């Protein structure tokens, strides 16, 4: 446990940032899964709407440094190719 006041505050700030980062990463993973489920069910409209939301959240995670840019590009590319195959 830190004894210095600024260190105590830093522990609180780090905990809050960690929670926010975990929430964003979980949201991205859940959106990818739900988009895959919509694709498997054959619901094109739902898959497209989820894909756009997934793209924005992936880009947001990249800007925060939670996901590497190549990983994000790969995830978006795979989802978009699956949606294109549905047609």
Residue-wise pLDDT tens digits, 41-73: 999 999 999 999 999 999 999 999 999 999 999
For 53-81, give one letter per residue: b (16+ CB within 10 A) or e.
ebbebbeebbeeebbeeeebeebbeebee
Domain definitions of the chain by residue range: 5-86
Query: What does the pLDDT look like over 6-28, one tens digit per residue?
Result: 999 999 999 999 999 999 999 99
Q: Evaluate if residue 81 carries a pLDDT over 90.
A: yes
Length, in residues, of the chain = 87
Which CATH architecture does the domain made up of 5-86 adopt? Answer: Up-down Bundle (1.20)
What is the distance between the alpha carbons of residues 58 and 37, in angstroms, rounded to a whole number? 18
Confidence of residue 1 (pLDDT cuts 50, 70, 90): confident
């Amino acid at each position: 446990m830190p004894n210095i006041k600024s260190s105590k505050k830093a522990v609180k700030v780090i905990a809050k940032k960690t929670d926010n980062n975990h929430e964003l990463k979980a949201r991205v993973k859940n959106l990818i899964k739900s988009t895959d489920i919509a694709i498997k069910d054959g619901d094109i409209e739902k898959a497209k709407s989820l894909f756009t939301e997934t793209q924005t959240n992936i880009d947001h995670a990249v800007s925060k440094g939670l996901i590497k840019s190549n990983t994000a590009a790969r995830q978006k590319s795979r989802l978009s190719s699956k949606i294109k195959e549905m047609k």
